[in-house]
C-alpha cells in the first residue's frame, strides 16, 4: 500500500482548498492511503488574526521527521515574491536529519502553489522548490500536458507543467476555480498512480 502525504501551508485558505483537491485525486487511486497535513504557522497569532488569516483549518500539523513515513509527498504553498512561503521553507529547513539519513531518497515529490496575480511567480515558486526535492533524492513529477485544462484559453487560471496553481486576486478575493481544482485533483491522482506502481 503506497502512502501519500499532501503537505501544505495556507494563510488565507486558497492553498488549503487546492490541497484538499490534491488529496481527493490521490484517494481515487486504488492501493494508496492519503494523509492531508499542514506545516506550523510561524506568524504570531495576533498578527495572523489581524491579517484575516484562516484559523479554522482542520488538517493536523506535521513534523519534519514523519516525512520519511511516506512514499510520495505533494507540497503546497503560496507564492511570496516569486518563492515559497517562509512557513513552508522553515519547515523544510528542519529536514536536515532526513537528508543526512537519505530518508527521502527514491520517494515521489511534487509541488503546487497560488499567487495573487496571473504572473505573480507561480512557475518560479515551483521551480525554486524543486532543487530541495532533488537534494533529498526525490523523484520529481509535475502536471503533465495530459491534463488539458492547463492549455485552455476559456478563463484566466493557474497551472503549468510544473504543477497546479490558483490565482487568488490582489485582495485574496478569488478562491480556486473548478478548473484549477480539477488540475489539482489530476496532479494528486498522477502522483498517487506513480507511487502505487513503485510502492504498491
Contacts of 120 (CB under 8 A, 6+ apart): 79, 82, 167
On whether the CB atoms of residues 71 and 3 are closer than 8 A, the answer is yes
β partners of residue 114 = 78, 166
Domain that holds residue 47: 2-199
Classify strands 72-80 and 108-115 as parallel, antiparallel or unpaired: parallel
Task: Answer whether 179's CB lies under 8 Å from 152's CB.
Answer: yes
All residues at 6 or more sequence positions from 178 whose CB lies less than 8 Å from its CB, including other chains: none
C-alpha cell at 176: 480556486
Residue 47 above 90 pLDDT? yes
Burial code of 29-42, b = ≥16 C-beta within 10 A, e = fewer?
beebebbbbbbebe
pLDDT in tens, 179-200: 999 999 999 999 999 999 999 8
* pLDDT value of position 200: 84
Sign, CA dihedral 181-182-184-188, equals positive
* 60-91 pLDDT tens trace: 999 999 999 999 999 999 999 999 999 999 99
User: Rounded mean pLDDT of 11-25?
Assistant: 98
pLDDT at 124: 98
User: Residue 183: its pLDDT value, please?
Assistant: 98
Distance between CA atoms of 185 and 168, rounded to whole angstroms? Answer: 18
Q: What CATH code is carried by the domain that includes residue 80?
A: 3.40.50.360
CB 6, CB 23: distance < 8 Å: yes
Strand partners, 4: 34, 72
Half-sphere exposure (Cβ direction) of 72: Cα atoms closer than 13 Å? 34
Q: Dump pLDDT digits (tens) for 95-146.
A: 999 999 999 999 999 999 999 999 999 999 999 999 999 999 999 999 999 9
Domain count, the chain: 1
Amino acid at each position: 500500500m503506497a502512502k501519500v502525504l499532501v503537505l501544505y501551508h495556507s494563510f488565507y485558505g486558497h492553498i488549503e482548498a487546492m490541497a484538499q483537491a490534491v488529496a481527493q485525486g490521490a484517494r481515487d487511486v486504488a492501493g494508496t492511503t492519503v494523509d492531508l497535513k499542514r506545516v506550523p504557522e510561524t506568524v504570531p497569532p495576533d498578527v495572523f488574526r489581524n491579517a484575516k488569516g484562516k484559523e479554522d483549518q482542520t488538517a493536523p500539523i506535521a513534523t519534519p521527521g514523519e516525512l520519511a513515513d511516506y512514499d510520495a509527498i505533494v507540497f503546497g504553498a503560496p507564492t511570496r515574491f516569486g518563492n515559497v512561503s517562509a512557513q513552508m521553507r522553515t519547515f523544510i529547513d528542519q529536514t536536515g536529519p532526513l537528508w543526512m539519513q537519505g530518508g527521502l531518497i527514491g520517494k515521489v515529490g511534487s509541488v503546487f502553489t497560488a499567487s495573487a496575480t496571473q504572473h505573480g511567480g507561480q512557475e518560479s515558486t515551483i521551480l525554486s522548490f524543486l532543487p530541495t526535492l532533488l537534494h533529498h533524492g526525490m523523484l520529481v513529477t509535475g502536471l503533465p500536458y495530459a491534463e488539458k485544462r492547463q492549455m485552455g484559453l476559456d478563463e484566466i487560471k493557474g497551472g503549468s507543467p510544473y504543477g497546479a496553481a490558483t490565482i487568488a486576486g490582489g485582495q485574496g478575493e478569488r478562491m480556486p476555480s473548478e478548473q484549477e481544482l480539477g488540475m489539482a485533483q489530476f496532479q494528486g491522482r498522477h502522483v498517487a498512480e506513480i507511487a502505487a506502481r513503485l510502492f504498491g
